[in-house]
Amino acid sequence: MSRKLHARRIEAIDKNIWVEFTQLAADYKAVNLGQGFPDFSPPSFVQEAFCKALNGGFSMHQYTRAFGHPNLVKILAKFFSRIVGREIDPMEDILVSVGAYQALFCTFQALIDEGDEVIIVEPFFDCYQPMVMMAGGTICLLYLRLKCCGPVLSSADWVLSPEELASKFSPRTKAIVINTPNNPLGKVYQREELQMIADLCIKHDVICISDEVYEWLTYDGTKHVKIASLPGMWERTVTIGSAGKTFSATGWKVGWAMGSGHILKHLKTVHQNSVYHCATAAQEAVAVGFQREYDVFGTEESYFHQLPIHLHEKRLRLADCLKSVGLKPILPQGGYFMIADISNLNVDLTDPSTKDEPYDYRFVKWLIKEKGLATIPVSAFYSPEHRNEFQKYIRFCFVKEDTTLQAAEDILRQWSDSK
């Protein structure tokens, strides 16, 4: 065909780090601490619920309610009403989506037009930028900056400058995206930080898109605060959640957007004109999982209580190992990931195929190919304009079986010993 075929909306968003690095990790059969998924199974009560759903009669295999399986939206409303402190309407205030990813997509497509500005905090989960671009919006960036340099670095040391934040809001600002706990840093925004953001959202009448997929994973007593629960914020916030991250079942791709009906209805319009329904059986299983968690919430039996305890140790163990081989980890307050400063290592990266790429990309590819260990370069979580300023960190996912972490440790120690 001689004519131009593709739509302009997909120009400049064709590259994707996950496609590239997942393939590389698979090709080299690397020990995979790269992409964010557990290599252990979901909890048995949720797996059993899925199997039960499969055998639950013909309706489990046919279309369910487009905006969310009734059992699921009802329990989500009940569960989160208790946390947010308001009555959430299951039919009006919730949209179930194909993973949190699709909830983000629906949000941007529903609310962002050409000329709208969207504030994004760097480092950010990489899909925010292309999604805003695909919706025709303009991105306004600001950094989390390291405020101090002590011997033990924590994600809490990365903060927003109030003046810089305020300066990003303009009459064209439609939305700000926050992610807490943050990917890749692991930062958990404190109430005061969220209040600062909330004040600006209210002052400038801006929507807040709050990606909270890691909401149950906080460590060292850190509390996750929902910005939607702050005064004046429910009516202007879309909160995104994920069953995949909640129940360690990323492959089920069940997520949701939650917020005031007057905003959610626009996300529903996108949803009904894009995928229309999500898979029924998986939604049923997630509903059963949430019912169980509702009943045991706050007790030791709760998966939301047990999983962070379980991961707390893995996080410390990985941090110790990284330190011992000369990497400088930044201890995350929450989430799946830990980033580490690689600038102390002097590795000779002579692979000509990567010579034009940022240092961390080159280092990660070298680590996969030469050492069989997969991680993700952190500059991928910065905008292309700023990528070159943040080339010295790589990201590890520690939500893995002990055997996987052990294998990673062995590789690192062997490498360190051989230097």
Sites for another protein among residues 60-79 (CB under 8 A): 60-67, 70
User: Residue 247 has which token pair?
Assistant: 């129940």
User: Any idea what the Cα angle at residue 335 is, between residues 123 and 90, rounded to 5°?
Assistant: 100
Among the candidate windows 77-85, 111-119, 220-228, 409-417, which touches another protein by CB under 8 A?
111-119
| Per-residue CA distances from 159 to 164, 196, 260 (Å) | 11, 12, 29
Burial 200-233 (b: 16+ CB within 10 A, else e): bbbeeebbbbbbbbbbbbbbeebebbbbbbbeeb
Sites for another protein among residues 165-224 (CB under 8 A): 174, 202, 205-207
Choose between 6 and 355: whose C-beta lies nearer to another protein: 6
Among the candidate windows 214-222, 244-252, 305-313, 348-356, which touches another protein by CB under 8 A?
244-252
Among the candidate windows 50-58, 71-79, 179-187, 361-369, which touches another protein by CB under 8 A?
50-58
Choose between 114 and 300: whose C-beta lies nearer to another protein: 114
Residue 245 near another protein by CB under 8 A:
no
User: Residue 314 has which token pair?
Assistant: 């893995």
The residue from 42, 68, 186, 308 that contacts another protein (CB under 8 A) is 42
The residue from 77, 96, 112, 373 that contacts another protein (CB under 8 A) is 112
Choose between 54 and 152: whose C-beta lies nearer to another protein: 54
The residue from 25, 31, 33, 50 that contacts another protein (CB under 8 A) is 50
Sites for another protein among residues 345-374 (CB under 8 A): none
**At closest approach, how far in Å is the CB of 34 from another protein?**
11
Sites for another protein among residues 382-401 (CB under 8 A): none
Residue 10 near another protein by CB under 8 A:
yes
Among the candidate windows 76-84, 221-229, 270-278, 300-308, which touches another protein by CB under 8 A?
270-278
Q: At what angle do helices 303-324 and 280-296 cross, to 10 degrees?
A: 90
> CB under 8 Å to 94, separation ≥6 — which residues?
67, 68, 73, 76, 77, 88, 256, 257, 258, 264
DSSP states of 36-61: S--SSPPPHHHHHHHHHHHTS-GGGG
The residue from 153, 160, 270, 322 that contacts another protein (CB under 8 A) is 270
> How many angstroms separate the CA atoms of 101 and 86, rounded?
26
Q: Count interface residues toward another protein (CB under 8 A).
A: 88
The residue from 29, 59, 147, 351 that contacts another protein (CB under 8 A) is 59
Choose between 50 and 396: whose C-beta lies nearer to another protein: 50
> How many angstroms separate the CA atoms of 139 and 52, rounded?
45
The residue from 30, 31, 76, 111 that contacts another protein (CB under 8 A) is 111
**Cis preceding-peptide flag for 377 (omega within 30 of 0):** no
The residue from 282, 322, 376, 394 that contacts another protein (CB under 8 A) is 282
Residue 419 near another protein by CB under 8 A:
no
Among the candidate windows 181-189, 212-220, 280-288, 360-368, which touches another protein by CB under 8 A?
280-288
User: Residue 204 has which token pair?
Assistant: 């400038």
User: Residue 39 has which token pair?
Assistant: 């290599």
Among the candidate windows 58-66, 147-155, 158-166, 385-393, which touches another protein by CB under 8 A?
58-66
Residue 44 near another protein by CB under 8 A:
no
> CB under 8 Å to 358, separation ≥6 — which residues?
377, 379, 387, 388, 391
> How many angstroms separate the CA atoms of 203 and 200, rounded?
5
Residue 157 sits at φ, ψ, to 5 deg, of: -80, -5
- Cα-Cα-Cα-Cα torsion 243, 245, 249, 250, nearest 10 degrees, comes to 100
- Cα-Cα-Cα-Cα torsion 221, 227, 228, 230, nearest 10 degrees, comes to 90
**At closest approach, how far in Å is the CB of 222 from another protein?**
26
